[in-house]
Amino acid sequence: MTPATAAQTIGPYWHLIDDPALADLTRFGAAGTRLVLAGRLLDGDGAPVADACVELWQASPAADERFPGYGRCATGADGGFRFVTLKPGPVPGRGNTLQAPHLALNILARGILTRLYTRAYFAGEALNATDPLLALVEDPARRASLVASPDGPDGWRLDIRLQGPGESVFIEI
């Protein structure tokens, strides 16, 4: 067995491979309930992280030719990111569990050597109460860092704090 190749930072110049279109997962005309996830990425001083790459993956709805399931967004000067996608449904967990609807998020940036992985859940979902990942986060304030808040008709907001007060929960992957 040869262990996986080491990760290295994505650095400040990764925009060379970026395409802003990737932040819109509905661009191929997928049908479903539109969802906008927006937020800001902040560092340990609460300052915006303006050169990051935020990636999104969702296992639901299943990816197909019209729905890529994957998105990528460069943070702006205010650390902001914004994805347009489709609302996910519940997906199976391990054993006989069911996971509440969620989006998977990767944070890649200068100063991050190995990608940081987190999830965005949605406030008010009944299944949040029994979600096997949320159940592992006992501190309500920390659990809240994984739950987006409603913001307008199809909008959701989730700020991600890399460090310090309100630090987001990052997940081993």
Partner 1 sequence: MTGTLGFRAAAPGSQPDNDSPDYGSTRLRHPTQPLLRFAHTITEATGPRFSPAQFPPLADMSTVDGKAALGERIIVHGRVTDEDGRPVPQTMIELWQANAAGRYHHPGDQHDAPLDPHFRGAGRVFTDAEGWYRFVSIKPGAYPWRNHPNAWRPNHIHYSLFGAGFATRLITQMYFPGDPLLPLDPVYNAVPDPAHRQRLVAMFDLAATQPDWALGYRFDIVLRGPAATPMENAGPEHEA
Give, as ranges, the residues between 6 and 35 that touch partner 1 (CB under 8 A): 6-17
Nearer Cβ to Fe ion, position 42 or 109?
A: 109
Check binding of 63 to partner 1 (CB under 8 A): yes
Nearer Cβ to Fe ion, position 11 or 93?
A: 11
Alpha helices in 67-153 (DSSP H): 140-144
Find the binding residues for partner 1 in span 154-173 (CB under 8 A): 162-164, 167-173
Query: Cis ω on the peptide bond leading into residue 153 (within 30° of 0)?
Result: no
Considering only residues 3, 29, 152, 153, which one is a binding residue for partner 1 as defined by CB under 8 A? 3
Beta bridge pairs of residue 73: 54
> Which CA distances in Å does 7 have to 16, 78, 108, 152?
19, 27, 11, 38
Q: Which pair of tokens denotes residue 91? A: 């997906």
Query: Cis ω on the peptide bond leading into residue 61 (within 30° of 0)?
Result: yes
Considering only residues 123, 142, 150, 154, which one is a binding residue for partner 1 as defined by CB under 8 A? 142
Is residue 100 a contact partner of residue 109, using CB atoms and an 8 Å limit?
no
Decide which of Fe ion, partner 1, none touches 150; Cβ closer than 5 to 8 Å per partner kind.
none
Considering only residues 9, 11, 91, 133, which one is a binding residue for Fe ion as defined by CB under 5 A? 11
Give the number of residues in contact with partner 1, rule: CB under 8 A: 76
Distance CA 70, CA 103 (A): 10
* Contact region with partner 1 (CB under 8 A), list: 61-69, 77-85, 147-155: 61-69
Nearer Cβ to Fe ion, position 51 or 131?
A: 51
